[in-house]
Amino acid sequence: MAGRSVARQAGPGGVPEVVVMRLPQYIRVLSSLMAQGVNIVSSQRLGEILQVTPAQIRKDLSYFGRFGKQGRGYRVRHLIMELKEIMGLDRRWNVVLVGVGRLGRAVLSYPGFAPEGFHVVAAFDADRRIIGRTVGNLKVQPVEELDETVMERGIGIGIVGVPGPHAQGVVDRLVGAGVKAILNYAPIAAQAPDGVKVRNVDPVLALQTMTFYLLGEDDEA
């Protein structure tokens, strides 16, 4: 399949991270266009929806080879398939969760992961009162078993669901176990060595960046 060879050519090294950050959004927009029955889309139209320039879109896609012909637009279904394969989004990813307290349980109850191919297959905690309990169909394992589970199952993604003070330690532990991608829900800017990606999910920080604009607005507080 063309996508596979294209994906091989484009090693992570050669692609700027900003581009990698944008492609999943391209896939989303393309998927919603396909759902609306759109078969062909121009970089112009894509740019309008994504609020980037058409030139930027063509440049981003050029890292992975040629898609669509100049002035002919992109075949939506084909581009989705190619981009999903390039990004590794055409497959199932098993994920481990560390921290099954209130935050971790909220993460487990999040309904968005499985439909997109991300499956939490093991959950760990250091709290003896939680270990052995079944939460969301998972039997909580002692964190001491993390390395073994990650290695045995070849798991590359970890979710950090522990409180802030313990989060960096858990990140270090996931890195030590061989995890290369970490989704951190703790309210800290987690640090990881080169070669390990970390993304922070931080709804409180997001709220805290908006309240400044509400000052002076009427509020009951």
CB of 173 vs a second copy, minimal distance in Å:
18
Q: Which of 69, 72, 92, 129 binds a second copy (CB under 8 A)?
A: 92
Residue number, 36 or 70, with CB nearest to a second copy: 36
Q: Which of 38, 42, 78, 93 binds a second copy (CB under 8 A)?
A: 93
Q: Greatest CA separation found in the chain?
A: 62
Kindly state the tokens that stand for 95: 């994920």
User: Could you give the residue ranges of the DSSP H alpha helices within 126-163?
Assistant: 146-153
Select from 185, 12, 165 the least CA-distant residue to 108.
185
Contacting a second copy within 101-130 (CB under 8 A): 102-103, 105-107, 109-113, 116, 118
Q: Which of 130, 155, 160, 174 binds a second copy (CB under 8 A)?
A: 155
**Interface with a second copy, residue 89, by CB under 8 A:** yes
Kindly state the tokens that stand for 119: 């499956």
**Interface with a second copy, residue 183, by CB under 8 A:** yes
Contacting a second copy within 14-33 (CB under 8 A): 15, 20-21, 23-25, 27-28, 32
Please name the residues in contact with 182: beta carbons below 8 A apart, sequence gap of 6 or more: 157, 158, 159, 160, 171, 174, 175, 190, 192, 196, 197, 198, 199
